[in-house]
Amino acid sequence: MKATMDKTDKGTPAASKKPAQVSSAQTVPALSVVPTGSALTVTGQGAHARNPGTALKPEWFDAIEVNLSATERRAATLGGRRTVKKEYQAAWLVKAVQCIDLTTLAGDDTPGRVHRLALKARRPIREDIVAALGLADAPPTVGAVCVYPTMVGPAVKALAGSGIPVASVATGFPAGLTPLPQRLAEIRYAVDQGAQEIDIVINRAQVLTQDWNGLYDEIRAMREACGDAHLKAILATGDLKTLRNVYKASMVAMMAGSDFIKTSTGKEDVNATLPVSLTMLRALRDYGEFTGEAVGFKPAGGLRTAKDALAWLALMKEELGRPWLEPNLFRIGASSMLADIERQLEHFVTGRYSALTHHALA
C-alpha cells in the first residue's frame, strides 16, 4: 500500500510513552512522496524559475482591505479538521522534512557546528526509520541549510556533492538598518562564498511610513546584487503592525523581484502565524494572477513541532495547490522542528514515542 499526500481527515495517532528503536524486522506501508508534477520550470534542487518582477504598481494594493476576524477564523480551521493520520500523516511529515531550511543563526556559531548541521541535513531522518518507511532507495534530505554569511564557506564545503543548497541571511539581519551599500556588499560576499539563496530583511520603517518607492528600489538593488542566487524577502511581519501592511509589503517585494516572501527573522516578538501566512499567500496568489509568475513562500520563527508543519502544509495545499508543496516553492525555516518530526515518524513505525533527546539535530 502506498500513501500519498492527497488525503486529509480527522483524528491523530494514539500516543504511547514507551521509547523504542525501530526493529529491522518491522515493515510498514511504503510511502510515496514523489511530486505529482507541475507546469513550473524547476532549475535545480530548491530552485524555481526566477520571478522577474514588474514596475511598481501601487494600484494593485492601495485599496486592499483585510478582514482580521475572518482571517483568524479561516486560519483556525487548519489545526482542527485539517488533520491527517497513519500513513498519510507520515507521508506529509516526510514532505515537511524535504521543505525545511535547516537553520542555525546563533551568535556562537562555529564551523564545527555548521558541519554537524550539514551532516544532519544530508540524513535528516535516522537510517533505521528511513528503511522502515520504505525510502532507503531515495532517502529524503532537507530543502537547504541556512546560516550567517561568514558560515557559508564551511556549509558549502560540508554539503559538497549533496545537492543541498546553502542559504545565507544578509542585509544587516535581523534589523536591516545598516546603510544600503553595506547591505549590498554583504549579499555579494555571501554569493561569492557559494550561497545559492539569500534571505534579505527589509527596512520595516519603509512599510510603516508607506514608502513603497523606497522599499521597491532597495529590494530591486538587492535582487541585482544576488546575481543568480534566489532572493527571499523577509518581511518581519511581527513588526508591521497590521495585516494590510503585510499584504502591501508582500506585493511590493514580489514586484521588486523576490523569488520567495518570508514571514520573519525569528527574532521578532511575534513570528510566523497562520493569519499572517494566509494574508501573504493571498497576496502571492493575487500577484500570480496579475503576472503569471510563481513566487515561493517561507514561514519562519516559532515553528517547532510536527503539528506546526502539518498546519502550514495544509494551508499551502488549500490556498495555492499541489505545486506549492515542493521545496522549489515552499520552505519552512526551522531547526528544532526536525527533531519532533523524526520522533513522530519513529512513533509511526514502532507505535511508541521515544524521548525527544533521542533525536538530536547535530
**How far apart (Å, rounded) are the C-alpha atoms in residues 197 and 149?**
11
Q: Which of 323, 346, 312 is nearest to 100 (CA)?
A: 312
Query: CB count, 10 Å around CB of 69?
Result: 8
Q: Is 262 a catalytic residue?
A: yes
3-state secondary structure of 151: helix
**How far apart (Å, rounded) are the C-alpha atoms in residues 143 and 72?**
29
- Cell 504511547 locates to 16
Query: CB count, 10 Å around CB of 305?
Result: 16
Out of 120, 262, 317, 340, pick the active-site residue. 262
Q: Transcribe 217-253 into DSSP letters.
A: HHHHHHHHHHTTSEEEEE--GGGS-SHHHHHHHHHHH
Q: Is 85 a catalytic residue?
A: no
Query: CB count, 10 Å around CB of 244?
Result: 15
Q: Give yes or no for a cis peptide into 299 (omega within 30° of 0).
A: no
**How far apart (Å, rounded) are the C-alpha atoms in residues 301 and 273?**
9
Q: Which of 301, 300, 204, 315 is nearest to 253 (CA)?
A: 204
**How far apart (Å, rounded) are the C-alpha atoms in residues 181 and 171?**
9
**How far apart (Å, rounded) are the C-alpha atoms in residues 256 and 206?**
14
Out of 95, 232, 298, 317, pick the active-site residue. 298
Out of 101, 199, 308, 340, pick the active-site residue. 199
Does residue 56 contact residue 213 with C-beta atoms inside 8 Å?
yes
Q: Is 298 a catalytic residue?
A: yes
Angle (nearest 5°) at CA 323 between 320 and 328: 110
The residues annotated as belonging to the active site are: 199, 262, 298
